[in-house]
Amino acid sequence: MKSHAGQAPRRSPLVALFLRDMSIARRIGGGTSLGIVFFLILVTLSAFAIGPDLLLLGKIAPAILWISSLLAALLGLDRLFQADHEDGSLDILLTSRTPLELIVLVKCLAHWLMTGLPLAAAAPFFGVMLNLPAGQIRNLVLSLLAGSPALTLIGAIGAALTVTLRRGGLLLAVLILPLCVPALIFGVAAAEAGESSPVPFATPFTILCALTLMAAAGAPFAAAAALRQTSS
Amino acid sequence: MIEETRGNACPGFPFMQLSVSGLSVQRSGRAVISGLSFALSAGESLTVAGPNGAGKSTLLRALAGLLPPAGGEIRITPEAEYTLGELSHYIGHADGLKTHLTVIENLTFLAAILDAGHGGISAGAALARVGLSHAARLPVSYLSAGQKRRAALARLLIAKRPVWLLDEPSTALDSASKAMLGRIMAAHLAEGGIIIAATHAELDLAGQTLRLGEAA
């Protein structure tokens, strides 16, 4: 056997997993841009459906943007664990000595950086399309930044439950969307807060942050338990 | 770090014994394995044979901790810090490689996630052992089935784990690669490792043989 001394320092398992997921997402490509294009289409369709009433559009823009980004965030979520299940990587992750809960958390982080973060970054442009008042754009972006990690984390539970199903995407949406209602309510409330609204921004926003923290604390355990069950 | 200082002369793994008694495993409520018992000590191998559907893969997945046993006991002596799954390399039907990454990227990731650094060899050296050095920078999707299998087998070498659970390890391998597999398995046994391999093909394993599904 060769000496071990000349090797590059080994990365920690979780850093290696994060870098692997990021580089796979970059190589496959399309995940980020597809999400943004889907977001754009949903926003445009809503605008066409509602008609050229700019006042009405501006009033309901936060709701349209939040629902659209929620649906766009679901794209690709079904592949979060399924790709690893199909090529046998999940077996390796399960027999690694790293807690599966942390593995789930790291995979969610990588997924959110490739999907949720770009959606939040694109939201101001789509807000302008919907005549969202300028003062609310900052609120919208902050609410999406704080709330979309919760959507990814809750989605991870559904992704873990549907990991063995070939067409699990639809079931995933059915399972996950009801659980996203609290984040949606407080997300839209935070985005709507402004001069015209009686509710100060901080109230729904802090609840939204709390929802994300709760999801970060609970969802990895639920998803890991589901993965242990379903992978067998 | 202790293992690193050891040479080839002394065995690489501390003595360990694996005993399975009365193991039963169910799949979708149907008993695939029932009342199976065997024991293996350091340096011993077990070839699991039997017709298709006899439960060979089920047995290996249960040993790796990927399937919960319905009954019976899997015991490691002396008591270990890790579960059997965490002490094992499990190589199943799927190669566990990401097709979009290059071979060397895959192995570097596997070295990190499998917590190598306990005497395993570097990814480059492991590729040389399985004869894939020339393909290190190719995406895995460009490789043939046999080359993918060899890249999957390379993970046996980059992270040292005492127990190897191999499900049809020689699938798609040519005769030279089969000989290579035989050599790395022999080296593992000589170091005091344990190998449990499910196979139809003849592997050069001298140890015990377990026949599943013969009674039916």
| Mean pLDDT of the A21-47 span | 89
Q: Which of residues 46-105 of B touch A (CB under 8 A)?
A: 61, 64-68, 82, 85-86, 88-90, 92-101, 105
pLDDT at position B33 is: 87
What's residue B53's pLDDT? 81
Contacts of B26 (CB under 8 A, 6+ apart): B32, B70
Backbone CA torsion sign across B196, B202, B205, B211:
positive
- pLDDT tens-digit map of A172-198: 999 999 999 999 999 999 998 876 777
The span from the CA of B32 to the CA of B55, in Å, is: 6
Residues counted in chain B: 216
Rg (CA), chain A: 19
pLDDT score of B5: 38
Query: Tell me, what's the pLDDT at B2?
Result: 40
Confidence (pLDDT) at B7: 39
Q: What are phi and psi of B183, to 5 degrees?
A: -65, -45
Mutation target among B25, B113, B148 for the A interface, most CBs of A within 10 A: B113
| Contact state of B66 with A11 under an 8 Å Cβ cutoff | no
**What order do you get walking across the sheet with B17-27 strand by strand?**
B30-41, B17-27, B71-77
- Report whether A160 contacts A227 (CB < 8 A): yes
| pLDDT tens digits along A51-109 | 889 999 988 999 999 999 999 988 888 889 999 999 999 999 998 889 999 999 999 99
Residue A2 has what pLDDT?
39
Supply the ipTM of this predicted assembly. Answer: 0.86
Q: Which stretches of chain B score pLDDT less than 70?
A: 1-11, 116-118, 202-204, 214-216
Say yes or no to pLDDT of A37 above 90.
yes
φ, ψ at A165 (rounded to 5°): -90, 135
Torsion B11-B13-B14-B17 (CA) sign: negative
pTM of the model: 0.89
Alpha-carbon dihedral B182, B183, B186, B191, rounded to 10 degrees: -150
pLDDT at residue A10, as a whole number? 63
Phi, psi of B138 (to 5 degrees): -90, 145
Search chain A and give the residue with CA nearest B9: A1
Predicted confidence at residue A232, as pLDDT, reads: 64
pLDDT computed for residue B90 by the predictor? 94
Measured in degrees and rounded to the nearest 5, phi and psi for residue B166 equal -115, 120
Residues paired with B17 in a beta bridge = B41, B77
Instruction: Decide if B96 and A92 are in contact by the 8 Å CB cutoff.
Output: yes
